[in-house]
């Protein structure tokens, strides 16, 4: 018999805690957590990274990341990240925010942080709903999409059109990087990781605010199975929220 030797080709990142998840089955927050952890490890910045998470499902990230974390009030993560980065400019500071947080109560915060060109990294998770508080309509809820607060579907004549955050921030001079990615299949997951790495690189190079918007599934509030939720994301969210690069400053390309 020929001797067989096994080689380890993949393992849990040091930045990712070895613990059980409390996210709903099929929730893709966990996938995004892993991508962030892998990038932090690969860049060798774990010991000087500080994360900021606000209210919402995103707040659980501090249970899964082996870095220092601060918990902000709802929508206020960019303000807290601003303070941390200005006081400790040698630290790598990132926010992890959902759409109900960043694009609703926190819209003012992210716009002004971007306008000032704060040297922070923003990971923005868009699942088109308020995940933690009961599946209400969010600023990113699609036209016609039913939620607990729009049971007949979002009516754009009454409730307005969904907000495209990556496109909204891109024109601001203080923004160095603004892109949208998705994690509904392996190819898009790999592309999301590359974008997260670039967003951290922008901060390390002192280039200003960098944002990665990531389309994510919420099977529980969408009332779908995990597989069906990924299919729904691809079929319904991608046409309205096309993945793409909306701003890449020179030096990041």
Residue 4 has pLDDT above 80, yes or no: no
Residue 3 has pLDDT above 80, yes or no: no
Residue 2 has pLDDT above 80, yes or no: no
Residue 253: the pLDDT is 74
For 195-217, the pLDDT digits (tens) are 999 999 999 999 999 999 999 99
Banded pLDDT at 137 (limits 50, 70, 90):
very high
Residue 251: the pLDDT is 87
- Tell me the average pLDDT across 89-114: 96
10 Å CB burial of residue 109 (0-12, 13-18, 19+) is buried
Residue 60: the pLDDT is 92
Pairing type for strands 244-248 and 175-182 reads: antiparallel
CA–CA distances in Å: residue 183 to residues 141, 186, 187: 18, 7, 8
- As its CATH architecture, domain 29-248 has 3-Layer(aba) Sandwich (3.40)
Task: Return the axis-axis angle of helices 29-43 and 186-204, rounded to nearest 10°.
Answer: 50
Residue 143: the pLDDT is 97
Q: Which residues pair with 107 in a beta bridge?
A: none
Tokens of 16: 């990712």
Banded pLDDT at 133 (limits 50, 70, 90):
confident
CA–CA distances in Å: residue 135 to residues 99, 112, 146: 12, 28, 9
Residue 154: the pLDDT is 96
Banded pLDDT at 88 (limits 50, 70, 90):
very high
- Tell me the average pLDDT across 84-113: 96
For 51-71, the pLDDT digits (tens) are 999 988 999 999 999 999 999
- Tell me the average pLDDT across 4-26: 89
Residue 81 has pLDDT above 70, yes or no: yes
Max Cα–Cα distance, the chain, nearest Å: 73
Residue 5: the pLDDT is 81
- To the nearest whole number, what is the mean pLDDT of the chain? 95
Provide the residue ranges of all domains of the chain, joining segments of one domain with +.
29-248
Residue 1: the pLDDT is 55
């Amino acid at each position: 018999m020929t001797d067989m030797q096994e080689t380890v080709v993949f393992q849990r990142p040091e930045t990712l805690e070895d613990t059980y998840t409390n996210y709903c089955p099929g929730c893709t927050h966990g996938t995004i957590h892993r991508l962030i952890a892998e990038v932090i490890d690969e860049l060798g910045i774990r010991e000087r990274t500080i994360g900021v998470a606000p209210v919402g499902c995103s707040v659980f990230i501090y249970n899964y990341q082996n870095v220092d974390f601060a918990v902000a009030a709802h929508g206020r993560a960019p303000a807290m990240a601003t303070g941390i980065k200005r006081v400790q400019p040698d630290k790598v500071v990132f926010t992890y925010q959902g759409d109900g947080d960043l694009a609703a109560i926190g819209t003012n915060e992210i716009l002004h942080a971007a306008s000032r060109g704060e040297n922070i990294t923003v990971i923005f998770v868009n699942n088109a709903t308020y995940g933690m508080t009961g599946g209400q309509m969010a600023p990113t809820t699609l036209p016609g999409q039913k939620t607990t607060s729009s049971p007949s579907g979002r009516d754009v004549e009454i409730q307005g059109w969904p907000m495209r955050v990556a496109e909204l921030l891109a024109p601001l001079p203080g923004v160095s990087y603004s892109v949208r990615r998705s994690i509904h299949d392996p190819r898009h997951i790999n592309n999301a990781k590359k974008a997260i790495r670039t967003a951290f690189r922008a901060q390390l190079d002192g280039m200003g605010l960098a944002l990665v918007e990531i389309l994510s599934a919420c099977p529980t509030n969408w009332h779908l199975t995990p597989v069906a939720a990924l299919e729904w994301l691809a079929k319904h969210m991608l046409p309205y929220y096309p993945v793409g690069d909306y701003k890449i400053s020179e030096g990041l390309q």
